[in-house]
Each structure stands twice: as C-alpha cells, then as structure tokens.
Chain A
Amino acid sequence: SQTIHQWPATLVQPVGSPLSLECTVEGTSNPNLYWYRQAAGRGLQLLFYSVGIGQISSEVPQNLSASRPQDRQFILSSKKLLLSDSGFYLCAWRFGGYEQYFGPGTRLTVT
C-alpha cells in the first residue's frame, strides 16, 4: 500500500531564516506530487506541483521554491522566511487513479 510522509511535523522559525520541508511517498512510482498551504481563515492553496523528476510548476508567486530530486521525494524550501509564510503545509500525491492522498502536514510558525 501507499504511504506519504512529511517532516518535520511542527516547526518554529524566525523571520529571515531558511526553510526545508520534506515529503516522501512509498509504494508507488512516478506520482504527481503537490504542495498545498492552509493558512488561518483561508482554504487550501496550491503552491507547487510536479509531474516528474526535476519538473516543477508554481501556482503562486512567492519566496518559496520546490524541488523534486527523486521520483518520490518532494521538497519545499525558502531562503528567507516571511511572517506570511506561517501556515499548515500539506503534501499530496496522485497516480493513475483519480483520488489525491494527503500527508499528515507540517505546522510552520514564523516568529
């Protein structure tokens, strides 16, 4: 069966510090991978998606970036965090079938 992991589960970082969030998927190959953000009072917002290794598409202009160095690994990064980057970050995957499956999420607080 397929499993999706995210770490860390929670993170508190000061403004201006770097960020690296990791997502890995097990039990599938060549999935579509997605990063979403859920900010307080707002719906889930798609940030990035990837249809293959090294293929990243951005949906929202921001100071975040994403990379996919391996087939089942998706990384969200920032060189300098802003207060507005606080939120709940969710990684998701989809392969072949129609459903998307979500990871447990990372709660990021920028202070």
Chain B
Amino acid sequence: KQEVTQIPAALSVPEGENLVLNCSFTDSAIYNLQWFRQDPGKGLTSLLLIQSSQREQTSGRLNASLDKSSGRSTLYIAASQPGDSATYLCAVRGSNSGYALNFGKGTSLLVTP
C-alpha cells in the first residue's frame, strides 16, 4: 500500500525566505504527483502536477521536483509571502482505485510579516 509522508509537519518562516517542503512515497510505481494548497476550512487548490516521466514543474514562484526512483518530491517556494500561509499537501496517483490520489498529511506553513 502506498504511504506518503510529508516533512516537516509545520514550518514558520519570515517573509522573503526561500523554503523547501518535502514529500516521500513508498511505491515508486506512480503515474503522477500533485501538490495542493489548502486554506483553513476550504477545499484543495491544485498547484502543480508532475507526470512520472518529468523531473520538475514550475509555476510562478513555485517549483516542484520529482525523483521517482528514490520516492521523493520537493516543493520549492521562492521569496515567501504572508499570503503563502496555508497547508500544502502532496499526493501521488497510482494505477488502482480508479486512479485516486494517496495523500500525505501535509505541511502547515506560516509566513510571518
């Protein structure tokens, strides 16, 4: 069974810092990996999707990398802002269960002014 782990569970940084969120998964046979953002009490917003054949994806200040063989992904946030404060979730898609996602528990990020 696929297990997804996110480290750290919580992170607090001052505004302007660059930061890295980590995600690891136990089964490297994945179709893709998706990073989401969740604000308190809200649904999930998709940030980046990396296909299993890709190494990284970029969107604005966000860059996500994937090393499928080692079962790792990182989300890099450049020049963090208070508006980036949220929980960030990593999810991998396997080949069963209707291609549903297996989620980590998330990293709670607080960016202080």
User: Which residues of chain B in 19-36 are interfacial with respect to chain A, using CB atoms and an 8 Å cutoff?
Assistant: 31-32, 34, 36
**A105 & B43 in contact (Cβ 8 Å cutoff):** yes
Contacts of B59 in A (CB 8 A): none
A94 to B105, CA, bound (A): 22
Number of A-B residue pairs, CB cutoff 8 Å, is: 63
A42 to B31, CA, bound (A): 24
**A101 & B46 in contact (Cβ 8 Å cutoff):** yes
**A104 & B42 in contact (Cβ 8 Å cutoff):** yes
Q: How many residues of A contact B (CB 8 A)?
A: 27
Chain A residue nearest to B50 in the complex (CB): A98
A contact face: mostly helix, strand, loop, or mixed: strand
Contacts of B42 in A (CB 8 A): 104-105
Chain B residue nearest to A51 in the complex (CB): B98
Chain A positions near chain B (C-beta within 8 angstroms): 6, 32, 34, 36, 41-44, 46, 49-51, 57, 59, 88, 90, 92, 94, 98-105, 107
Chain B positions near chain A (C-beta within 8 angstroms): 4, 31-32, 34, 36, 41-46, 49, 51, 89, 91, 93, 97-106
* Further pairs besides A44-B103, A46-B102, A100-B34: 14, Cβ < 8 Å: A6-B43, A32-B99, A34-B98, A43-B4, A44-B89, A44-B101, A46-B97, A50-B98, A98-B51, A98-B93, A102-B43, A104-B42, A105-B42, A107-B41
